[in-house]
Structure 1
Amino acid sequence: MRILLIEDELDMASWLMRALKQGSFVPDHAADAGTAEALMAVTEYDAIVLDLRLPDRHGLSLLADMRKAGNRTPVLVLTAQGSLQDRVRGLNIGADDFLTKPFELDELEARLAALVRRSRGRPHVPLCCASLSFDHESRAFTLADELLQLTPRENAALLALLHRSGTPVGKSQLSSKVFPHDSNAGPDAIELVLHRLRRKLAGSDVQIVTIRGLGYMLRDMAHASHGT
């Protein structure tokens, strides 16, 4: 899941970015509203974590502009203890959830997963392609009922392909789901991630195939009617 963290406290942001990267999240960081707007203009996020006390604008002002522009990305607002007024105003503007500082990382991750799940209109059931399955609650993959050991980047790539299984996903689109904007990864770095994934899926009934000119596709090999 691609997450935008809008947080001006650098220590807090650094901790959250490290923690989210260890899960199945691909986070980008904006320290102010202006940077956040620039990132949102070029990237589609699955969810946004928004602190309210930003140096250039109040977070709810940014949220209001997002909603007026038709941006319906789920937004989790970070609030100070007892800030009832911010909660009420935020709900009226279009906030989807709130989390009070200080908070536990597990709760943040669970709330983000729930927001994304609801926004996609999916019930709390695993995503599947042949014997490959992804559980939203644990954010883990199983293959033929065996836990699939994946790195965070492999997890993000496979999840992006699973959401579009049977349909090609472009190389740049897939890369944007796996590597943060500030990553030093080259344009072909996604190839290495896919190479490792293909090895882990080898011999199973699901494979990652290359569709020339279109990108990559997760395919149920039992129902494949032709090669690529």
Structure 2
Amino acid sequence: MSRQPDAPKPIDPPKRVLVVEDDAVGGPQLARFLESFGYRVDLATGEGAARARLAAGRFDAVVLDLTLADGDGYSLLDALRAGDPLLPIICTSGRCDLDARVKGLRSGFDHYLTKPFEPEELEALLARELCRGVHRGAPRGDDRPVPDRERWSIHEGERTLVLDDHLAIPLTETELRFLCLIHRLGPDTVTRSAVIRGLGHSQHYYSDSRLHAVISRLRRKIAQATEQPAPFDSIYGAGYVWTRITRSGGG
């Protein structure tokens, strides 16, 4: 694997990627390829080694082989999602049948790549996942309305919630993580426990009143800045859900 002449410039600052792959040849080759694009790559050759790396530091994305000598990848996926529901996780697998792909995506992988795959495709998926907050809701080149376009967008890189592509509301890290989580999992309702895991704290850290205070402050901030309702609802006894508010071709 060699870097192509038209490859993008190295990432600045470099994103840290954990590659979990027990192929003695393919794993190091893939790691070197991603490093040529400017990623900081840690290579783990099994589930146990991956858990040790994850316990020692934070990663921006994970590339996970589904079939490992010491595990099937799904238990590691569950642990990753419990720790950070927003972490980009790309599955690589030799199984290409529809049932396997559907199971992988429903289990929580962001993408499911079947082997053999072109490394350029993997890098493109990684780049898109890592930059999705920057590109989501980017301003248009003109002011013409787009039919049924969602009014609210989240700019992760700038840590803002944006209304109609121009009114930006600054967010705290906690508010950003909350909105990204319910937006990513919408239209499904996100349970209170899943929200707490997404915020990076234990169940004991957030009492009902503390979590309610965080959500209430965010609602007030949005209402004061826009006089518009927040783009999420509380479902009594269930959790929170993103509300997709669109503008028609005439507005």
RMSD: 2.4
1:61 equivalent to 2:65? Answer no
Larger Rg: 2
Aligned 8 A contact 2:134 2:158 in 1:
no
- 1:123 equivalent in structure 2: 135
Unpaired runs of at least 5, structure 1: 127-161, 165-228
How many percent identity over aligned positions?
Answer: 39
Measure how far apart 1:125 and its partner are: 9.8
Using the alignment, how far apart are the partners of 1:13 and 1:39 within structure 2? 16
1:37 equivalent to 2:51? Answer yes
Secondary structure class of the residue paired with 2:38 = coil
Measure how far apart 1:83 and its partner are: 3.1
Residues 122-155 of structure 1, C-alpha deviations (whole Å, 9 max, x = no match) = 21799xxxxxxxxxxxxxxxxxxxxxxxxxxxxx
More relative contact order in 1 or in 2 (CA 8 Å, sep 6+)? 1
Aligned 8 A contact 1:79 1:86 in 2:
no
Using the alignment, how far apart are the partners of 1:108 and 1:92 within structure 2? 20
Aligned length: 127
1:74 equivalent to 2:88? Answer yes
Secondary structure class of the residue paired with 2:134 = coil
Aligned 8 A contact 1:52 1:78 in 2:
yes
- 1:173 equivalent in structure 2: none
Distance change >3 Å, CA 163–CA 9, structure 1 → 2: farther
Distance change >3 Å, CA 106–CA 124, structure 1 → 2: farther
Unpaired runs of at least 5, structure 2: 1-14, 139-156, 160-251
Amino acid corresponding to residue 135 of structure 2 in structure 1: P
Distance change >3 Å, CA 70–CA 2, structure 1 → 2: closer
Measure how far apart 1:68 and its partner are: 2.8
- 1:46 equivalent in structure 2: 60
- 1:112 equivalent in structure 2: 126
TM, length-normalised to structure 2: 0.46
- 1:12 equivalent in structure 2: 26
Secondary structure class of the residue paired with 2:135 = coil
Using the alignment, how far apart are the partners of 1:57 and 1:73 within structure 2? 20
Using the alignment, how far apart are the partners of 1:71 and 1:37 within structure 2? 16
Using the alignment, how far apart are the partners of 2:77 and 2:112 within structure 1? 13
